Amino acid sequence: MKSYKSFFLIIIIITNYSVCFSEGGWFQQLSNTNVDLIKIYFLNQDTGWVVGNSGKILKTTNGGIEWISQQSNLISPIRSVYFLNQNTGYAVGGKYEYVDFCYVDIIKTTNGGDNWTISYSQIEFDNSASDVTFINASTEFVTCFG
């Protein structure tokens, strides 16, 4: 009888051990796009956005299992995205047209990315927007390179 108790105790320990510790590592997620993706931002464990070339924006609401395309109305690369909350977010990018100048684009959404509007678009000399972040709702930092 004692050997049966030991056997069941070992089975319970092994079962609980495998349930308590999940597998670590990276898992490939399919984006269903052939466009190069550049930057990703998650607001929480489920909701996130990824941006890339050709004005591509994708959104997930289930932790990256499925991605839904959003229309940015840009054709230039989007290099960064940042959300203040579920609804309000900004994305920045631009592209070099010639050696002398490039475009800087900043777009904004107030409905979770369903619609994006251009909040700033300008031809700049030797600069292109590469990153965006906020320290509070009214102070935005855009990093440029050139």
**Strands 101-109 and 48-52: what pairing?**
unpaired
CA nearest neighbour of 113 among 76, 77, 61, 65:
61
Taken in order 122, 36, 139, 111, the sign of the CA dihedral is positive
Alpha helices in the chain (DSSP H): 2-20
pLDDT value of position 18: 47
Residue 120's pLDDT band (boundaries 50, 70, 90)?
A: confident
- Please determine, for residue 125, whether its predicted confidence score (pLDDT) is greater than 60: no
CA 30 to chain centre: 14
Q: In the predicted model, what is the mean pLDDT of the chain? A: 76
Q: How many CB atoms lie within 10 A of CB 84?
A: 14
- Please determine, for residue 16, whether its predicted confidence score (pLDDT) is greater than 80: no
Dist. CA 129–CA 111, nearest whole Å? 23
Please write the tens of the pLDDT for every residue from 30-51. 777 888 998 999 999 999 999 9
2 φ, ψ to 5°?
-65, -35
pLDDT value of position 99: 54
Cβ-Cβ contacts under 8 Å for 25 (sequence gap 6 or more): none
Higher per-residue pLDDT: 139 or 17? 139
Query: Please, are residues 78 and 95 in contact by the beta-carbon 8 Å criterion?
Result: no
